[in-house]
């Protein structure tokens, strides 16, 4: 995947790639030399014919090639010509052909040989280079950018388009990249596209198996800021461990939909997905990693011969976030974990499978968890030597120092569980809790609607009276009445002696 990502970025002709010292001048030869040096820095060999013109430079018969001997694979990008025109105002314009083929040959040991040609096309692609030495700006726009599968072979046998196709199209694309070059390179990028469309299909004539995926997205955006230290190699984990690298940004879209279908011997399974806004925020440097994704108004439908009835579910909000230290440290570092599945609903057909009489409230369900804390990592997770030593010795990679439950919410079928609290951990005491560091702190829990839910489950036959009695006895041991008629609350405490108490009563 790293190589595919690398060839993709280069097939965009380094619109967002870092520039070497050659980018410091806004003459056409300097711009081309800088682009060539950047591609070579990514592991590509570059051949081309350079012809000076009255207002700049024509670069023709461009071939960019990347070899991956370990996979017996080659990626080759061919460009008929690139015109670099000096505008007389300190800027250089770059113009590209409407079609640029990308060929991929791969023959991994023990697997089928694959050859494919992708056509990277554009309508009205324009790139303007401006700025000053060491601080260059690349502004670009295109009415449309596309990537399409035009040739495909497996073990030398051509696969026609009606048996395999792939198309990806971006409409109304615009953006800019600022590259500041000192000892390393600082990149700031902003890209927008009005819409994206994709279509993938595969049909096996020998077995009649087939698959189809198509969809679209609106309002795409990407913004990022990256610091690449001198000598940085994105494929070498040691480069991350060495420090100096950082990247942060966000990406997403304002709405999307997808249709899919898969045909097998049993029949065709098909479905659709629909999504409102999606946003991903990320940050990474040599000491930490942060990832935060949020989505709204999600819906999913699925039907097929192996399903007893159609599946239709939706969710008002979903989110996932994680913050984690990745470098060795002597002092505790911040960590966080969050998960939200909010406003989950399913169709009455699904409800009626286990609740045909509609005894249970069918209100939207929610699960939410928000944790923060402190951990002390003993090693750098991107240092291969330290990770190999960890595998060999079986030692733990770090220790947990503190944990705070900011929010726990589980709401479904008329009942609601809530909680919050915090603990610290004594890593010098691994005996009291069987090898786990001894906690010290408390958590406060509330439970509403539990008895009403139990009564309904009994009436439905999903719970016996004996099981219900056991559940109620357990709740009475750990909880006390809350503020409402069907409300319970509990404070669970672990003191500095390792005693576990429920509402002040010792239970361990």
pLDDT digit of tens for each residue in the chain (508 aa)? 333 334 334 433 433 333 333 333 578 988 887 678 667 766 789 999 999 999 999 999 999 998 888 778 999 999 999 999 999 998 999 999 999 999 999 988 888 899 999 999 999 999 998 887 778 788 999 999 999 999 999 998 899 988 999 999 999 999 998 878 777 788 899 999 999 999 999 988 778 889 999 999 999 999 999 888 877 766 666 666 667 888 999 999 999 999 999 998 888 999 999 999 999 999 998 889 999 999 999 999 999 998 888 999 999 999 999 999 988 899 999 999 999 999 999 999 999 988 888 999 999 999 999 999 999 998 887 777 777 777 777 778 889 999 999 999 999 999 999 999 999 999 999 999 988 999 999 999 999 999 999 999 998 888 898 888 998 888 888 899 988 889 999 999 999 999 999 998 888 8
Question: Tokens standing for 308?
Answer: 């007893």
458-498 pLDDT, tens digit per residue, is: 988 888 988 889 988 888 888 999 888 899 999 999 999 99
Chain segment 344-385, per-residue pLDDT in tens: 999 999 999 888 889 999 999 999 999 999 999 988 877 777
Q: How far is CA 106 from the centre of its chain?
A: 26
Mention every residue, 6+ apart, whose C-beta is less than 8 A from residue 129. Answer: 23, 26, 31, 91, 92, 93, 94, 136, 137, 138
Distances (CA, A) of 30 to 26, 103, 133, 380, 416: 7, 28, 11, 40, 66
Report yes or no: 44 and 10 within 8 Å, Cβ to Cβ: yes
CA distances from 131 to 177, 275, 329 (A): 11, 40, 40
Can you list the positions of beta strands (E) in 229-363? Answer: 246-253, 255-264, 267-275, 278-285, 288-303, 311-325, 333-346
Q: How much is the pLDDT for 238? A: 67
The whole-number pLDDT of residue 6 equals 41
What was the pLDDT predicted at 7?
A: 38
pLDDT at residue 477 in the model:
86
The pLDDT assigned to 483 comes to: 86
């Amino acid at each position: 995947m790293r190589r595919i990502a690398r060839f993709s970025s280069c097939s965009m002709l380094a619109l967002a790639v870092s520039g070497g010292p050659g980018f410091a001048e806004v003459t056409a030869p300097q711009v081309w030399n800088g682009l060539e040096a950047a591609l070579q820095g990514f592991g590509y060999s570059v051949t081309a014919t350079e012809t000076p013109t009255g207002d700049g430079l024509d670069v023709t018969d461009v071939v960019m090639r990347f070899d991956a001997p370990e996979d017996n694979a080659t990626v080759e990008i061919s460009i008929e010509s690139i015109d670099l025109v000096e505008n007389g105002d300190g800027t250089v314009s770059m113009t590209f052909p409407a079609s640029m083929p990308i060929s991929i040959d791969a023959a991994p040991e023990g697997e089928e040989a694959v050859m494919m040609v992708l056509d990277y096309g554009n309508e009205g692609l324009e790139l303007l280079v401006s700025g000053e030495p060491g601080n260059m700006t690349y502004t670009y726009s295109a009415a449309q950018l596309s990537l399409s599968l035009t040739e495909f072979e497996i073990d030398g046998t051509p696969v026609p388009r009606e048996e395999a196709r792939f198309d990806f199209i971006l409409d109304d694309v615009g953006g800019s990249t600022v590259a500041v070059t000192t000892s390393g390179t600082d990149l700031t990028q902003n890209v927008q596209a009005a819409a994206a469309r994709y279509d993938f299909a595969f049909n096996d004539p020998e077995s009649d198996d087939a698959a189809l995926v198509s969809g679209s997205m609106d309002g795409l955006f990407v913004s990022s800021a990256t610091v690449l230290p001198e000598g940085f190699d994105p494929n070498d984990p040691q480069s991350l461990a060495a420090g100096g690298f950082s990247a942060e940004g966000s990406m997403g879209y304002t709405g999307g939909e997808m249709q899919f279908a898969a045909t097998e011997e049993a029949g065709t399974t098909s479905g659709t997905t629909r999504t409102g806004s999606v946003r991903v925020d990320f940050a990474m440097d040599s000491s930490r990693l942060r990832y935060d994704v949020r989505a709204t108004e999600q819906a999913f439908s699925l039907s097929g011969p192996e399903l007893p009835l159609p599946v239709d579910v939706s969710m008002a909000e979903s989110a996932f976030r994680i913050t984690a230290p990745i470098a060795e440290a002597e002092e505790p570092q911040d960590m966080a974990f969050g998960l939200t599945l909010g406003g989950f609903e399913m169709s009455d057909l699904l409800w009626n499978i286990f609740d045909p009489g509609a005894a249970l409230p069918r209100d939207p369900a929610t699960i939410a968890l928000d944790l923060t804390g402190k951990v002390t990592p003993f090693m750098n997770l991107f240092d291969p030597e330290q990770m190999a030593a960890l595998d060999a010795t079986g030692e733990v990679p770090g220790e947990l120092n503190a944990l705070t439950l900011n929010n726990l919410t589980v709401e479904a079928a008329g009942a609601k569980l809530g909680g919050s609290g915090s603990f610290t951990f004594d890593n010098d005491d691994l005996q009291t809790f069987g090898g786990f560091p001894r906690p010290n702190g408390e958590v406060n829990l509330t439970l509403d609607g539990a008895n009403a839910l139990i009564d309904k489950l009994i009436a439905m036959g999903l719970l016996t009276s004996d099981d219900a009695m056991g559940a109620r006895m357990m709740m009475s041991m750990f909880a006390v009445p809350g503020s409402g008629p069907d409300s319970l609350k509990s404070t669970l405490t672990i003191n500095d002696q390792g005693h576990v108490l429920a509402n002040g009563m010792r239970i361990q």
